[in-house]
Structure formats: structure tokens, C-alpha cells
Amino acid sequence: ASRVLVASRNYADFASEATFEIKQCDLHRLEEGPGTTAVMTREEGLHYYKTMQMIRRMELKSDQLYKQKIIRGFCHLYDGQEACCVGLEAAIKPTDHVITAYRAHGFTYARGVPVKEILAELTGRKGGCVKGKGGSMHMYTKNFYGGNGIVGAQVPLGAGIALACKYFGKNEVCLTLYGDGAANQGQIFETYNMAALWKLPCIFICENNRYGMGTSVERAAASTDYYKRGDFIPGLRVDGMDILCVREAAKFAAEYCRSGKGPILMELQTYRYHGHSMSDPGISYRTREEIQEVRSKSDPITLLKDRMVNNNLASVEELKEIDVAVRKEIEEAAQFATTDPEPPLEELGHHIYYNEPPFEVRGPNQWIRYKSVS
């Protein structure tokens, strides 16, 4: 019935774009920041909606596969935070660079990796985006440097990528992400210092989802104004549940970096629906009511959906059709991720170095040697 209804409505009936009021960012060491209005076209809205729904459904499927013991090991889910990765990606170029912590599935998808390769990586299969060797925390693709398991360690690496951007003069920027749980680490402040001295085109982004593992930000940090933590580095505090707020702030930050002014810091105020990882039920340090309140009032997908429908950019039926298509793609991807073969043991030593001649690698059994190829 919904298909008949959508078919009966001509696409000319919809508005091609709409202008929205968005929340003003809090500023640090900036005289002016991103605007308080944002224009979104119908095409952009449909793309953002589908991408966020794909990430949401992918994470819910990951939860299911983990509980079935098909996904093993560490697994940190991103549902609730979709506006962050999709909004950031909408503001930068494919040639720009992104490095993040281990809650990385959403960024991997936003950077262009198909969902079936992400799920296959989670299940440790040969068809995974890192050929089954990386799992949840170590996913990569062109201009995306992971998924990093060591808390905060990706921040100095991000500054190194930004240094390469500056060195080669390509007018590219690096988005360097970390969570509120990592924000108190010394290596982050050392990196701020170096990036400011060398005027690196680095956007430091703190995804503040209010809990570092099971500890609330109020219990972990004397100052929860993470956007001011760069001190001499300008900062923005952004509504991380609103994709348009994230997009506009990230456009502003990228332009700031490309102009040669050096680094800038963004704090995205967001929320995760799952616990810290799949081993954390997520309700021992916060209440079910708190989670439900965020879901009902600030859900990033619902917010975008309401904006599109209320401003005649799409119909409810059209968005439902997208939901159906997304679920179908997720189910097909899960089927691939559970039937694709695991990588053979002889590939254990592969891809240790890039573009090196083959050499012998000792495996778990010291008497067995494997050949490494790049």
C-alpha cells in the first residue's frame, strides 16, 4: 500500500531544499562561529537518512550476532551517535583524512566501506574490510586510519597525518577523534601543543557521550568544557545529536584549518544507547529512564525524519521504503558475514609491511614458519 501511495505522489510535489534553524555553538577563542541556519536539499536529506539508518541497523545486527556468539572479542557499538560520523563526513572531502578510536563501525561505513565488509570483519571472515584480521576495533580504508584500540593513542597519529597534509601542501585536513574518557590523557595535551606550534591542519574532535566506560564525565573531569581544553587552540561545542549542527560546525572547522590558521577543537555532545562495549549492560551507572529520555527527545534519526517530513522534503511512506531497503541490505550482509570462509592459517603473516619482499614469520607454534607478503 505504501508503494502505491509513494508512486501516486510526483517527486515534483516535494520541496527541493529547506532552511533550518540550528542550535548556536559555544565558542572558545573565536569571535564568530558557524551560523545558526542550515540549508539542506532533499537529496542530501535522503542520503543522510539512509546512511544513519544503515549504521543504526548495522549496530543492532552486530548486537544480535554478538549475543549469538558469532561475533567474538571486543565490540563497541555506535547507535545513538550516528549524527556525528555522518555529519562530519558530509562536511569534508573524500581526500581529507579521518582517524578515530575503537567505536569505529559508523565512521568505516561513512568513509565508503560496504556494510557486508564491516559485518564480515566483525565475524572474522576473509571478505571483511581487513580480511578478517582486524575485528571491531581495527578497520581501515583509503584516508581512514582506524579504529585504534589503545585509548587516546590515535590523537598523536592524527597530528602526524595533519603534518603530512601540510608537508605535501595538498590543502587537506585530518579529523582526529577521541572520547571524553580519553580527554584527560597527557599525550592529547602534548599533541595540542605540537599542532599549535606547527599550525597543523588538524581538527581535534572530542565525542562526548557523557560516560567514559562506566564513569560519568562529572566524576572523571574537573572541567567538562572539553572544547576549551586546547587552551590556546580555538574551540566549538556542538549539538552532536543534530546532523546539521555537526555538518555546519565541521565545515567551519575545515575552512579554518585550510586557511592556514592551525588546529581547531570540536566537542560533540552526543550519547550512546548501548553500554561501553558488549560486555557492559550500560544500566549499572545510568538508568533506563535516562536512556529512554534521550531516545524520545534527541534521537538523531527521528530529528532528521521530522524535519524532512514537516518541511515537505520527503513523505513518511518514502522514508519507510528506505527503512525496508536498509533492513534487506543488512540481512543480506549478515548472511554473507556468517557464511563467508575464515582466512586460511597460512595468511597469518600477510600484510605486516606494505610493498616489502616476502619474508618468514614465526606463528603461534615456534616450529611453524609462515611467509609474509604485502
Task: Return the C-alpha cell found at 52.
Answer: 544513519
In terms of pLDDT, which residue wins out, 78 or 347? Answer: 78
pLDDT value for 7: 47
Domain ranges for the chain, please list them. 17-277+289-343, 345-373
Question: What pLDDT was estimated at residue 10?
Answer: 66
Q: Which residues contact 23 (CB under 8 A, 6 or more apart)?
A: 36, 239, 242, 245
Measure CA 309 to chain center.
26
How far apart CA 17 and CA 34 sit, in angstroms, is 20
Is the distance from CB of 242 to CB of 196 less than 8 angstroms?
A: no
DSSP state at residue 179: E
Q: What's the mean pLDDT when you consider all of the chain?
A: 95
Using a 10 angstrom Cβ sphere, with 0-12 exposed, 13-18 middle and 19 or more buried, the burial of residue 230 is buried
pLDDT of residue 9: 59
- Higher-scoring residue by pLDDT: 243, 349: 243
Cβ atoms of 28 and 234 closer than 8 Å: yes
CA dihedral 256, 260, 261, 262 (to 10 degrees): 90
Question: Which pLDDT value is given to residue 12?
Answer: 75
The pLDDT tens digits of the residues spanning 328-367 come to: 999 999 999 999 999 998 898 898 898 999 999 988 888 8
Average pLDDT over residues 241-255: 98
Distance between CA atoms of residues 242 and 304, nearest Å? 8
- Grid coordinates of 142: 583509503
pLDDT at 2: 45
Q: Using CA atoms, how far apart are residues 52 and 57, in angstroms rounded to an integer?
A: 9
pLDDT tens for 93-137 read 999 999 999 999 999 999 999 999 999 999 999 999 999 999 999
Q: DSSP letters along 54-112, please?
A: HHHHHHHHHHHHHHTTSS-S-----TT-HHHHHHHHHHS-TTSEEE--S--HHHHHHTT
User: Beta strands 17-21 and 26-28: pairing type?
Assistant: unpaired
- Residue 130 DSSP label: T
pLDDT in tens, 133-182: 999 999 999 999 999 999 999 999 999 999 999 999 999 999 999 999 99
Q: Which of 157, 51, 150 is nearest to 99 (CA)?
A: 157
Q: How many of the other CB atoms lie within 10 Å of CB of 113?
A: 21
Annotate 20-44 with DSSP letters as a single string.
EE-PPPEEES-S--S-SEEEEEHHH
Q: Are 255 and 203 in contact (CB under 8 A)?
A: no
- Residue 120 CA to residue 132 CA, distance in Å, equals 7
Residue 226 is given by DSSP the state G
pLDDT digits (tens, 9 = 90+) for 170-222: 999 999 999 999 999 999 999 999 999 999 999 999 999 999 999 999 999 99
Looking at residue 18, its amino acid is A
Helix (H) or strand (E) run with residue 251 in it: helix 243-258
Per CATH, the number for 17-277+289-343 is 3.40.50.970
